[in-house]
Amino acid sequence: MLFSFLTRLIPATLLQPGDYGLLVLASTVILVGGMIFRLGFEVGLARELPRSSSPSTTFLSGFVLIFGTSIALGLLVEWLVGPIALLFDEPALEPFFVVCAFGIPSMAVIKIIGSRFRGTEDMVGAC
């Protein structure tokens, strides 16, 4: 939560109000798209790990699936940055979408690692 606060605070002090608004708009669109695209895979992975006969294989399969789809979403956003900026009638959005698109795979890695810890905690608690 502190990281999220700092990622909003630092740009808010460095950018003009209009540019900060563009950054928030771009990051919100990327965040919503990422949540829809992941479809709760990390939650399912956390639930499946304690039940799996091979948790390492299950985790690796989930990691490849989630990380691969997040890279695909990031590349899709990079490819569609022009039409998205036109949709909002704001050409200045393009660089913000490009920067935010790089965060999609990193956000997915953080989620998948968190699901690994939740699943492992459930496995230890079940013993």
What is the per-residue pLDDT across 84-114, written as a single tens digit (0 to 9) for each?
A: 888 888 888 888 888 778 878 887 888 888 8
Q: How far is CA 25 from CA 3, 20, 40, 75, 118, in A?
A: 19, 9, 23, 19, 31
Q: What is the DSSP letter of 90?
A: -
Q: Considering the entire predicted model, what is its pTM?
A: 0.69
Nearest residue to 96 (alpha-carbon basis) of 106, 105, 87, 84: 84
Is residue 36 within 8 A of residue 60, CB to CB? The reply is no
- The yes-or-no verdict on residue 127 having pLDDT over 70 is no
